[in-house]
A and B are shown apart, each in its own frame.
Chain A
Amino acid sequence: MTGISAGGQAPSSLRREQTTEALAGYAFIAVPMAIFLVLNIGAIAFMAFISVWDWGVRAGPREFLGVENYVTAFEDPIFWRAVWNTVRYALIVVPLQMALGLFLAVIVNQRIRGQTFFRAAFYFPAIASSAAITVLFIFMMSPQGLFNDIRALVGPLDIPGWFGFPPNHSWLGHSSTALESIMILNAWTTSGTMMLFYLASLQTISRETYEAAAIDGAGPWQTFWRITFPLLKPGHYFVATVSFIGALQVFDQAYIAGGPDGSPNNALTTIVLFLVRNTVFQVDFGFAAAVGVILFILIMAVTLIQRRLFGAAPAWY
């Protein structure tokens, strides 16, 4: 991104040439930009427009409602349940993903035999279809599934058993563990992507810094916490942002495991699931659009807060 903009003031003799160059640049980005404006920004603005109407799917605007759709959402306990589920999900999954991603990145960044193999292996869950993974996961977490079989095998080391979960607990079928199971699933499937981001960020730390630290007598533990971790700050920002945006939009795994009802007992009703339910099954575009706008604002707010916390974005972002 940084390469495109030519910085500094140009001498007047070059101005003409520069204008031509700029025009060429705009010409190159015109088509993708137009597509982006219409399909992304346009869609978002149109959603905001729809959200203040009683909007017929075929009939278009029927009645101007102002903020009524928003009020309906704020008065709906299921909506708040969806918000709570989503926020709780994000607050647990994001740190998990970051920790796992960083851990894997540091490991595969070592000069070890088979480095490429491990990088590919850790990234593998990210390229498999999330629908396929979720279906397998449902089998594994069922009462007679692999997970409970392993618990039976390890006997006294069955950690969930210590917390009173019965040996044939239905992990996705019980409202106290359904969302938590999806959290673990997603932290695992996306950790490979987070690893990749961290890996890119790790490459930006120069060897000299490490050499200097080694000369000063820093051990591996100290080096990680005093050098690597703080110097990864731009990376943290990027990974946290991407991870949070993804987590707040959690949908497909919840939909496959719990259906449009978000059952059991709304445990799997996330904001996007709630939105889809109101779009496709309730055919209430105005209300669903209002929910979409609220989600948009939520994501925007979280991103801005993160920006404050971590400082400016890295140059390669």
Chain B
Amino acid sequence: MRRRLLILFTALMLALTACQAEESPGGGGGGPSGSPGGSPGGGGQIDASGTVILSGWQASPEEGELLQQMFDGFEEAYPEVTIDYQPVSGDYAQQRIADFSAGTPPDVFYVDSSLAPDWIEEGFLLPLDDYIAQTGFDTSQFYEGYLDAFRGPDGMIYGLPKDASTLALFYNPDMFEAANVEPPTTWEELAAAAEALTTDEVAGICLSPDLARVLAFVYQAGGSIYNDDFSEVTFDSDETREALEFYMSFFENGSGRSPAQIGAGWCGEAFDTERAAMAIEGNWLIPVLEGDTGEASYEMVELPEGPAGRATLAFTVSYSIGADSANPDAGWALLSYLTGPEGMEIWTSKGLALPSRRDVPEPEGREALLAGAEYARPWSFVPGFADVVTAFNNSISAAIEGSATVDDMISATTEAAQGTLE
């Protein structure tokens, strides 16, 4: 009996594996499977019909309203296509990985720039170049730092940024006035301002033990993690060392504190509850500050200039089409509308998100964040980069506790980065 079960079971497993192998004919190269019709010059439209499944995460009810407005606009332009919107409320990456492994991704969905290299490498995403060429879609209006986040090692484009944000320095003008401090524009001024603003209750600046913030300082000092074509790890340099020592100096003299030291979940919360006079965050912080919890007043400036000039990081999310999409033509119709000037103007109209294109009107009061877009570098590197983030974040949290040094941070991060290139 037991043996028979075992045989049955092995057969079942083999059958499962066989289906798995059949479904995926070697990687995600090639162009769109269906040949997209429509005249190349004819207004950029494509012949599409049927249902298109759209998925992403939804941050607020306001976002849902804006989406609905975009859907209305889209269905006017493409009356043959119906949108089936299926937002994910739980862990987004987990849900997508499950879909990809089952071969049933949505047609159009969000891709976070930090995960894009892994997802491109695994062949989850459809390259959009053929569609872009055939419909004459103008990608030159996208800020390069945003678009590059979704470019594969083959140079193809695997997603178009739906919106984006850079990092800026948020500061509390009331506290600045009380301490008689001007908004800092250089590293020296930043350090001096943080010291002047620090009290027992208030940290001069809230600093996250997170590579997604610290890397901006590394860039400002002229350092980097990889060289430009991602063939070499360049983290171990005097520039990196200078940046990390500068970052750690805030913790050493107490003018900078981590969210854990402040007792906040993240720096945005510390700033919102007036326990930090400055914080380095992006557009996502603004709805929090406008919300009901804290009463902090706020202003923004570009990140202060480092020894090698200005630098900031670009965080962006794309709309991409699944390689196994059931209706990629309708997917492209929707994607090109949502990331085109018309759709993006609706999406960014309330300032909940910032445009990733230059030809969309800028929302009010976001000048510092938008100014950074011109020189921002994407938060998107190589497949497996999550390991580098983990290594860095764990070593900097140890350094803040005093159980690691700047050299430890550099060696741990370099080792992890080398692992991603092997």
Contact = CB atoms under 8 A, between A and B. Distances in A.
B20 interface: yes
Contacts, number: 119
Given A58-B100, A143-B261, A282-B386, A45 B393 contact: no
Interface string A263-300: 11110000000000101111111000000000000000
A317 B265 CA distance: 43
A61 B27 CA distance: 11
B299 interface: no
Contacts of A172: 260
A262 B394 contact: yes
B66 interface: no
A258 to B, nearest CB: 10
A30 to B, nearest CB: 13
Contact of B260 (A61, A264, A266): A264
Interface in A160-174: 168, 170, 172-174
Interface residues of B, number: 50
B401 A261 contact: no
A265 B100 contact: no
Contacts of A60: 17, 20-21, 23-24
B260 A173 contact: yes
Interface in B189-246: 209
Contacts of A45: 9, 13
A174 B401 contact: yes
B336 to A, nearest CB: 24
B16 interface: yes
Contact of A170 (B9, B24, B263): B263
Nearest to A281: B386
Interface residues of A, number: 41
A42 interface: yes
B155 interface: no
A142 B103 contact: no
A283 B123 contact: no
Interface in B380-403: 383-384, 386-387, 389-390, 393-395, 397-398, 401, 403
Contacts of B20: 60-61
B293 interface: no
Given A61-B20, A261-B389, 13 more contacts: A46-B16, A56-B123, A58-B24, A58-B100, A59-B28, A138-B265, A142-B263, A145-B263, A170-B260, A260-B386, A280-B94, A283-B122, A284-B384
8 contacts: A38-B12, A56-B122, A56-B123, A138-B265, A175-B403, A176-B401, A282-B386, A283-B119
